[in-house]
Structures are given as C-alpha cells and as structure tokens.
Structure 1
Amino acid sequence: MSAAADNTAIWGRAEQQDFRSRVRGCLLGGAIGDALGAGIEFDSLAVIRQAHGQEGVTDYVPAYGRRGAVTDDTQMTLFTVDGLIRAQVRRDTGAWHPPTDVHRAYLRWAATQRDWGPDERKKDDGWLAREEWLYSRRAPGRACLSGLGDDTMGTLDQPKNPGSKGCGAVMRSAPFGLLVGWEPQLVFQLAAECAAQTHGHPTGYLAAGAFAVISHALARGEDLDGAVRKTLTQLAARPGHEETTEALQRALAAVREGAPTAERVESLGEGWTAEEALAMGVYCALVAEDIRHGLLLAVNHGGDSDSTGAICGNLLGTLHGETALPPVWLVELEGRDTILQLADDFAMEMTQGAALHSPAGSAPGWLARYPRA
C-alpha cells in the first residue's frame, strides 16, 4: 500500500455527518441482513415457504438462541474495521502496511472462536477483542478458521487455501470501501490482499476486491448501477477475473428480466461461493424498492442467506445511510451498541484522525482503544 493513500484530509461538518451516516448504514445494514438470514441459512426455499408462508421470512426468526443474532459475517466485518483503524493509528510510528494490521485483527477474531471469553486478552488487543458477546461460534467457514490457524499471513503471491473461493472473504470486505480518501485501485488491492489471507483462489479474492470497490463508489455518493459497471472495468485487468465478471454481468442482466422474485435470485446461484454471493447481494440491492424489500429478497432463497443478506445490507446501508434502516430491526439487533461505537470510531478516525494522534503526541484514550503495538 502506498503511503500516499491518506484518508484524513480536512472535512466540512456536513461531509462528516454524511460520511458517518454511510459508515453506520454500512455496518448496521450488513448486520441486519446477516441476522435476517441467520435462522434460515441452511434451509431450501420450499422449507422456508412451508415454515413461514409464501413470502418467506418477513422478520427475524430465532437463531443461536435469540432474535436478531448475527453470524461470523458480522463478526469478521467488525474486525476488518478494527484492523483498518489500527493501521491508520500505526502510521505515526512509520509502520504502514494495512494488510498486516487487518491480518492481526483477523487473528483476534480467530481467538474469539476458540477462547471461552475475553478474560485473558492482552491490553494491546484493544477494546473490540474484549467484547464478551463476540465470543461465540456462529458457523464460521472452514477456510477462515484454517487460514487463520497460525500466525503466517497469506499474500497474493503465497495465499492461504489457494483452492478456496468460498464467500468467507467477500462477506467481510465492505469496510475497505469506506476508505473514501483512497483511489479505487488501492481499495481493490487492499481488499484482495486481505482476502488472500484465507481464500487464495482468484475468484475468492477478486470478488472481495470487487465488493470493496462497489462499496467505495457508493460511499462517495455514486449510484449502484454505475458502481458495478466501473468495477467490471477494473476487474477486466485482473488475471482470473472471469468468474467474478460473469457473475456480476448476470446480476445486471437479471435486473432487466422482469420483476424480482426468489426464483430469479436463485438463478444467480446459492451464495456459498464468492462470486455467487456477490452477484446475489448486488442484484437484490439493484432491484430493491427500499431497504426492507431488498433485504428480504436477499435472504429468502435456498442458499447462504446470511451472507447474501449481509452483502445486500452493506450496499443499501452505504447507499442510503443509517436513517433509512428499518427501526424495528435495529431494536433487536445483537451487538448494536458495539457496532455503532465502532462505526463512529472509524468515521472519527477517517475524518479527524490528525486531532487524535500524530508523531508529536496522541490522545491516551484513543491509543488505549486502538493500541499501536
């Protein structure tokens, strides 16, 4: 990553408020979509309709012992944000390698999947790793667990799980798109590098890069259709792009094929692989009449409902901001306070980071939350 990719330029008050709303929308929207799909993730469309009616689920259904529970998709997305904040803070030391900081954050997530709780977390792990509710296994993907099973960081040259193109990297990659001060090609590159830490197949990491760049355009105020078409241009220059490109092209084509239905969503795949999850989430966001309609469309199918719901929610939340999210779903969302706190910290770091830390001096409270070590 180039040190020229600075994201702490001077922002006006209105710009800061708009950006914070989009960051909150991205993280909360993704978590809502994740939670809507969590209780039906492994059910066929026929089973979903038999249990919940012809429209499928229209609200949260219990998962992991409660309504509004999130899965590993939201857990890992939050640790992506944590890693990006830590990367910015560490720049003051002269250390500037965001993939390393994101990898360390993912290792902290992996610890939540094997430890009983946060009691033995080190001070340098920061505040997110001490959130007790995150210490719960929510069907994490095998590639994520094995890719983070030791301290060795996968890279694009030497990726972890080189045959894996599951959706476990794409579903956590929306936060890279919130680096609005970066150029799109750097956003793509960083997301792809961090995806290769667990998913080494070109489709696995290119779909993550594509998702990040689409999200990046939305965070900058662009429309979704244009964002997807710009991303296709970027993808075309990447070796091994064909599966991801074809999946996004199918999503765009499906928009013109008639009214959105669960069957049309299923024509794009099941969502277990990266390119299918991306295409399904993008399609549902493209045809959404509003956030509620888009999210319910994204989860009511016989596939990886939580991941496609999360991707769609990330996109629609970034596009419309937090105030467009249905309040009835926010009320019961697991971890809402943590998500809001992290979103606001990210927005503050990106817009006012220079006031929080510098080589000359830093706010002790901020470094306690996001240690440089």
Structure 2
Amino acid sequence: MEGVPQTPPKEAYRAAMVLSGAGDALGYRNQLWEYCTSGPQIHQELQEMGGLSKVRAALPDWPVSDDTVLHLATAEALATGKDGEPLFQDLAKRYVEAMNDMEGRKPGPTSILGTSQLHPGEPNGYRIPFNPNATGCGAAMRSMCIGLRYPRPSDLTALVQVSVESGRMTHHHPTGYLGALAAALFTAYAVQRLPLERWGSGLLKTVPVALEYVQATAVESDSNVSAWAYFQEKWEWYLSDRGLADGRGPARFPPAYSPAERDVIYKTFSLDGWAGRSGHDAPMIAYNALLSAGDSWEKLCSHAMFHGGDSDSTGVIAACCWGIAHGFSGVPEGNHMELEYRDRMVTAADQLYDLAWGQRPV
C-alpha cells in the first residue's frame, strides 16, 4: 500500500456496498446459479430473460445470500467505531446473530460450524480452534468493507489485524482467512486508485505481515505456519500465468476466453475443482474479472457472477471493488434499486465513509 489516497466521493462507498450485494444476488439467483456447474448454461438462461438489463434484482426471486448477510454484519460492527478486542467481540456477536437470518441463503458448513464455536462476551470468545478443513471462501466474501474502514496505506496494520481476526472467527486456516485479507486489501487498493496490475503483487507483499501477526498472537501458530504456503504459492502461480508477477502488466489472457473456456480456466485456480469456493480463489476470480472487465458492468458480471462455480462469492467481491472505481455508471437500475437490504448497505457505507474520511485530515 503506497502513496496518500485522495478522499473518494461518498457515492463510491455507497456503490461499493450496494453493488456488492447486487453481485451476490445476481451470482446466487436464489440458489439456481450458485450451484450451476455450467457458465454457458447461465449465460443462455440470462439471454432467455432478455439479458442483464432486464433483471430486476428484488425479492422474492433475487434474494441476497449468506455472503451479503455476513458482509453487512462485518460492516455494521466496523461502523460502531470500535477497535481491538471490543471490535472483535462485536464481530463475533454479529456473526452468531446473522446465522438467524439464513433461511434460503445457503450458508457454508464451515461458517455454520465456526459460529457455533464462538462465545462472544467471554474472554477470547471470538477465537475458535484451528480447522484443517476451513479453506473455504466464507471469510473472504464478508471482508471487503474492512478495506472501506481502513483504506489508507497508513491503515495497513489495522486492516491486516481485523481481516485475520474476523476471518479466523469461522475459517481458522490460512487459506480461509487470508482470503479475508485479500478481499479487504483489494478494496483498499480500489479506494486508493492503485492500478489493478499491482494488486496481486501487493497482496504477496502483505502476506508476510499477516504471518508476523499470526505468530505474534501465538494462537495455534504451529498449525497455521505449517498450512501457510498454499495460499502464497497459488497466487504466485496465478500472477506468473497472467504476466503480473512484477506488478506491471499488462495482464495476459488466453486468446480463447468464452464462458465455457473460462469455466475450464477457473477450475485451474481452485483447490478442489469448484471454482471460487476457497479463500484463495474467490478473490482471485474476482481480481481476474476486474482485470478483464474494464469499465463494463456487463462484462464484469459475465466474468465474475455468471460462471460454473461459487458465483455469488466471486461476484460479491468483484462488484464491491468495481463499484468504488465506477460508481453506478452503466449499471441497470433494476440490478440494484430494489435489492434486499439496500438501505442497510447505504447506511453502513455512509458510516464507514465518515469513520475513514470524516474525522481526520487526509
């Protein structure tokens, strides 16, 4: 994280939160598309509806999933202005409470297990045991707003600590909670207007900072260190493949890149063949989509929300970062104006903006 960012418009924060929810609802499609294994099928069904501009993302057909419910829980805890242990306790409390709002939203088994192990209000009640299977994307998908709260280069220490602690409240495994770091960091980079080509290399420079924090807190650090390498190695592989290892670019994409071909490529990013399901590859697919989409909302949706994988979790991250850069420009009103919990998203965005930018000089 470099330089001193200019103060962004408040509308950028609102677009980040609201379009994140829209990306979730579109990628989820009330369970139909999150669990569809075929990007071409999703694109065909979208075409039969009349295209993206005809989609009215509203209840009952287009609810938000567990991703947005938990992202709002994170945002509303951060919006209190708390930090340190009081913040962590509040986050844990809100994650537990959020599990009461999961009817029809399909929360992941690791999030269900993790929240059942939290004991907010008790000493260290926001910490759960290391879980060798907690490699999923459930921490990544709810962490973008951490970058809205801590957007400056000088906020990096807080961003790392909050993303790691909040992430391992359910996903106590580096592949899981480093996904939270990636989603938060990329959002901060978007606020800073850092060129996209530099985001991945910036993440790899930040991962050792997270390792230092994990070792310093001494919470099952041996288990964490032994499981650490995969996240970094997979990102190194991806950046090399895209020609971005040095942070310069331009990004290099395959010449053939249709929905069917993207399904095959995205699987190569994955841990277990289900693209976007893990902590490393949900932000990876989101980043990949941002690199290829430019200022086109439709192209972003095609690449981040409409693929044969965990399409709501990749969409929720990509749309948040895109919203910061582009606002609501070019986004069909039907995609977001009647979105479930939209008012909460706007309120949280305003509160995070005021905390990040309204209380102190730039």
Q: Distance in 1 between matches of 2:237 and 2:263?
A: 11
Look up the match of 1:79. 73
1:180 has 2:151 as partner: yes
1:108 has 2:97 as partner: yes
Within-5 A mapping of 1:150-299: 150-152=117-119, 158-159=128-129, 161-178=131-148, 179-181=150-152, 182-236=154-208, 238=211, 239=225, 240-252=227-239, 253-254=241-242, 255-259=251-255, 260-262=257-259, 263-264=261-262, 266-269=264-267, 270-289=275-294, 290-299=296-305
CA contact (8 A) 1:184 1:216 kept: no
Question: 1:230 offset after TM fit, Å?
Answer: 1.0
CA contact (8 A) 1:83 1:103 kept: no
Within-5 A mapping of 1:321-360: 321-323=327-329, 325-352=331-358
1:34 has 2:24 as partner: yes
| Per-residue CA distance 1:135-174 (angstroms, 9 max, x = gap) | x441111111221125426789854644211111100010
Q: Distance in 1 between matches of 2:324 and 2:96?
A: 27
1:99 has 2:88 as partner: yes
Q: Share of identical aligned residues, percent?
A: 27
1:47 to 1:112, Cα distance in 2 relative to 1, 3 A: same
The residue type paired with residue 111 of structure 2 is C
The residue type paired with residue 293 of structure 2 is A
- Residue 341 of structure 1: SS of its match in structure 2? helix
- Residue 116 of structure 2: SS of its match in structure 1? coil
Question: 1:83 offset after TM fit, Å?
Answer: 0.7
Look up the match of 2:107. 140
1:258 to 1:162, Cα distance in 2 relative to 1, 3 A: closer
CA contact (8 A) 1:77 1:173 kept: yes
CA contact (8 A) 2:285 2:314 kept: yes
More displaced 10-residue stretch of structure 1: 144-153 or 44-53: 44-53
1:303 has 2:317 as partner: no
CA contact (8 A) 1:250 1:279 kept: no
1:83 to 1:271, Cα distance in 2 relative to 1, 3 A: same
CA contact (8 A) 2:164 2:177 kept: yes
Question: 1:99 offset after TM fit, Å?
Answer: 1.9
Q: Distance in 1 between matches of 2:21 and 2:178?
A: 23
The residue type paired with residue 334 of structure 1 is E
The residue type paired with residue 171 of structure 1 is M
The residue type paired with residue 184 of structure 1 is L
Look up the match of 1:116. none
Q: Distance in 1 between matches of 2:301 and 2:151?
A: 25
1:317 to 1:98, Cα distance in 2 relative to 1, 3 A: same
CA contact (8 A) 1:80 1:175 kept: yes
Question: 1:335 offset after TM fit, Å?
Answer: 2.2
Question: 1:59 offset after TM fit, Å?
Answer: 5.5
The residue type paired with residue 24 of structure 1 is R
Look up the match of 1:20. 10
| Per-residue CA distance 1:296-318 (angstroms, 9 max, x = gap) | 21122211111111111112112
The residue type paired with residue 91 of structure 2 is V
Q: Distance in 1 between matches of 2:125 and 2:292?
A: 36
CA contact (8 A) 2:119 2:125 kept: no
Question: 1:98 offset after TM fit, Å?
Answer: 2.4
Q: Distance in 2 between matches of 1:344 and 1:65?
A: 24
More displaced 10-residue stretch of structure 1: 61-70 or 169-178: 61-70
The residue type paired with residue 257 of structure 1 is F
Aligned residues between the structures? 313
Question: 1:34 offset after TM fit, Å?
Answer: 0.7
- TM-score (ref. length: structure 1): 0.74
The residue type paired with residue 37 of structure 2 is S
Q: Which runs of 5+ in 1 are unaligned?
A: 1-10, 114-135, 355-373
Question: 1:57 offset after TM fit, Å?
Answer: 6.5
Q: Distance in 2 between matches of 1:257 and 1:218?
A: 21
1:44 to 1:150, Cα distance in 2 relative to 1, 3 A: closer
Note the aligned Cα RMSD (angstroms).
3.2
- Residue 300 of structure 1: SS of its match in structure 2? coil
